[in-house]
Structure 1
Amino acid sequence: MTDPVERFSADALGVPAVGVRVMRPHLRTVDVHWHDYYELGLVISGEADHVVNGEALSLRAGDAFLLSPADFHAIRSRGEAPLTCYNTVVSAELMERQLAGLGAPASDGLPWLVPDLEGAAPDFERLQRELAEPRLGSARVAEAVVACLVVELARRAGVDDPGRGAPSPADADLRAAVLHVDRHFREPLTLAAVATIAHLSPNYFSERFRQYAGTSFQSYLQERRLRFARSLLVATALSVTEVCHAAGFNSLSHFGRAYRRRYGVAPSERHA
């Protein structure tokens, strides 16, 4: 079934091997969509309504944001002038390496929406230059600039320093598995397949997952899908059937029962 929410991919956008591409579009209206990469943006001029995961926000010059593959959004400019911004596509591999270096709170806290970050414009400009005219060390410079921008956004977004050393290899593998669920919950996922990411047997992974997340694998996956579905119902005019499949549910009846148990109303009763 075709995904009713438009999906942008890094491959379709021609992201180079370094894992970063910088664009500078003039936007009027961008309908609800999601992507398989991280989107790092900085507004240069103009104003817009920015709907992120169903929540309506404002965008103006100097505002910055970082969205993950688990987020969806739409942009509608205000007034006659378009919204001009740096729109930076960052591959999941590159961005998750940066987030991992900041500890668990960084990965858990996305999306980041940071006002008044105008001082970051020169960093975006340099990143664009390095990618437009690659030379000796450009890939390393590009990753370093992305790392600096991520640190600055994390600080401004109020991400706490965990104050701990590096996690054990076992915990790091488990966290990678949980992050995989967070980023790919719309896709068919099985406990056995995700257990391989943590290098654990399915039975032991199930036990460790419950200890780590405080709930079972299936409950965690369903909650992720339900939150996404609820946001789509609030933010779009998609039908319940379209939302069901966009959120990763295969059965409309199962989706309806799960939604009613979680939110106390049927998905057809759209609510904020």
Structure 2
Amino acid sequence: MSETIALNYGAEEGDFYIQHVKRTEPFERTNHFHGTYEIYYLLAGQRGYFIKDRSYLISPGDLVFINKHDVHKTSNIGPPGHERIVINFSDRFLGKDHPLYHESLFAAFQHPSHVFSLKLQEQIFVQTIMNKLTKELKERATGYETYTKLLLMELLLFAGRCAERQETVPFEHASPLHKKISEIVQYINGHFQEPMTLAGLAGRFYMSPYYLSRAFKDVTGFTFIEYVNTARIKEAQRLLKETDMKIIGIAEAVGFENIAHFGRMFKKLTKLTPLAFRKMQQQVPLAD
């Protein structure tokens, strides 16, 4: 069996979700951004992790914090197989309107490094919290929902203190190629509304289209067109939520020349049509 799930609780797009999985074969995640916060803890193996506009090498004992709506994707590096725990939670679960909220709980999500490499004692501390979470969610004894929130708060406070101790130093790219791809991603993020082709981008950055295509996939985990479409759909979600623009106007504003193509890409990435997404946002307003 290629995948063993030790714990799977909740829905990934819901208010609280946790999954502990061990895989023995190559795996790449398919969802690229969401409106929940994400904590990723690697127990075994190595992973590439692309977050916003940078790529990271994740090793066992690394704790990763991804802010809501940040584009991200894990990819295979080295021998196949890895073991990890991922937690997603919403503002409704533990956000600004929650009575237990404190800004220090979210310090790790604001830290520019995204990744905290834990020392052995810190790994033991985090693993203890994860074990308690697993026990509570499997047994579901009286008050387990409350204790789950308290354990999550303990993990977030620990991470916030790690963020305070960790010096903010200039980010070191893994290689000149990683730096170049990061620059290209930043360019896409700033110009995705414009017509954009692989050949045109390759010419702008003095690379061959073939080499750029391969390098972009290797570094980010996305194909070029996957990333462009992801950036466009992410902005479309914001416009659907925050404006009264017509859907055809939003499609054009984010760079789609064909409304049907926009609809297909939107549903592929969000599992909803643009209209259904807008109606859902109107029915259940999300806290900022």
Range class of TM-score, shorter chain: 0.5 to 0.7
Moved more, 83-92 or 28-37: 28-37
> Are residues 1:20 and 2:20 paired?
no
Identity of aligned residues (%): 14
Deviations 1:42-66 (A, max 9, x none): 1111111100112100111111122
One-letter amino acid of the counterpart of residue 151, structure 2: V
Compute the TM-score of the two structures, normalised by the length of structure 2: 0.51
Residues of 1 paired with 2:33 and 2:71: CA distance? 5
What is aligned with 1:115?
Answer: 117
Size of the aligned set, in residue pairs, is: 179
One-letter amino acid of the counterpart of residue 135, structure 2: R
- Give the RMSD, CA atoms, in angstroms: 3.7
What is aligned with 2:234?
Answer: 246
**1:33 is paired with a residue of what secondary structure?**
coil
What is aligned with 2:202?
Answer: none
Match of 2:156 among 147, 150, 161: 150
Pair 1:52–1:150, CA change in 2 (3 A): same
Pair 1:231–1:20, CA change in 2 (3 A): farther
Q: Is the 8 A contact 1:37 1:69 kept in 2?
A: yes
Pair 1:20–1:108, CA change in 2 (3 A): closer
> Are residues 1:127 and 2:133 paired?
yes
What is aligned with 1:219?
Answer: none
Deviations 1:164-215 (A, max 9, x none): xxxxxxxxxxxxxxxxxxxxxxxxxxxxxxxxxxxxxxxxxxxxxxxxxxxx
**2:150 is paired with a residue of what secondary structure?**
helix
What is aligned with 2:102?
Answer: 101
Pair 1:65–1:227, CA change in 2 (3 A): farther
Residues of 2 paired with 1:231 and 1:152: CA distance? 38
Moved more, 103-112 or 150-159: 103-112
One-letter amino acid of the counterpart of residue 69, structure 1: K
For structure 2, the 5+ residue unaligned runs are 1-8, 167-185, 197-215, 240-248, 256-288
Deviations 1:208-265 (A, max 9, x none): xxxxxxxxxxxxxxxxxx9993498975412756643432265577557xxxxxxxxx
Written as runs of structure 1 = structure 2, the 5 A alignment for 1:40-79 is: 40-79=39-78
**2:149 is paired with a residue of what secondary structure?**
helix
One-letter amino acid of the counterpart of residue 114, structure 1: F
**1:154 is paired with a residue of what secondary structure?**
helix
Q: Is the 8 A contact 1:106 1:159 kept in 2?
A: no
> Are residues 1:86 and 2:85 paired?
yes
**1:61 is paired with a residue of what secondary structure?**
coil
Residues of 2 paired with 1:246 and 1:109: CA distance? 20
